[in-house]
Amino acid sequence: MKFQETKLKGCFILEPTIYEDERGYFFEAFNDQKFEQIVGVKPLFVQDNQSQSQYGVVRGLHMQAGEYSQAKLVRVLEGKVLDVAVDVRPGSDTYGQSVAVELSAENKRQLYVPRGFLHGFSVLSENAVFFYKCDNHYHQVAEDGVHPLDKTIGIDWQVPRENMILSKKDEEAQSFTAFKDKNGIG
């Protein structure tokens, strides 16, 4: 498995080594020893989540705040998505910057999103099944987020606006400016 750190420190793309023959394929999706050696974090994932979405769905930008903050290891089991992570770690040199990575059942890539990041994805295929591991349990009171179409962050979700499907919660999400003000970052 190859690990490639993105421009956002601590955020990694994982690419498996795939072994194929006439029977199909095999790959190691996760190895805690390799992960700790490369990423420098001993993973302890405590919750797995899975969602299914249709083309045009944009989910995000979400995070868990404070003591309930979560790191995530995300991948796509079916279809294709554009996965996005935005650094909102106070004091980070890349605060407010994002990375976008195409994850698909075909390329089998994964993205490790550390704690202190907003996260979201858009569905680029007819349907997609999205799977992710979290290192902390979900707590509704710790939910935070930013509107996915916030112009300050300026993410190109690779879906025309007229085809986007957002939840009511995401449509009503705060701006990045309000998020920064709430968190004392100016």
| Residue of 19, 25, 55, 62 marked active site | 62
Per the annotation, the verdict on 112 as an active-site residue is no
CB 130, CB 76: distance < 8 Å:
yes
Total H helices, total E strands in the chain: 3, 13
For residue 62, indicate whether it is catalytic.
yes
In this structure, what token pair is assigned to residue 123?
A: 């569905």
Closest CA to 115 of 67, 81, 74, 149: 67
What is the largest distance, in Å, between two alpha-carbon atoms of the chain?
57
Catalytic member of 112, 119, 132, 147: 132
How far, in Å, CA of 161 to CA of 142, rounded? 29
Active site residues: 62, 132
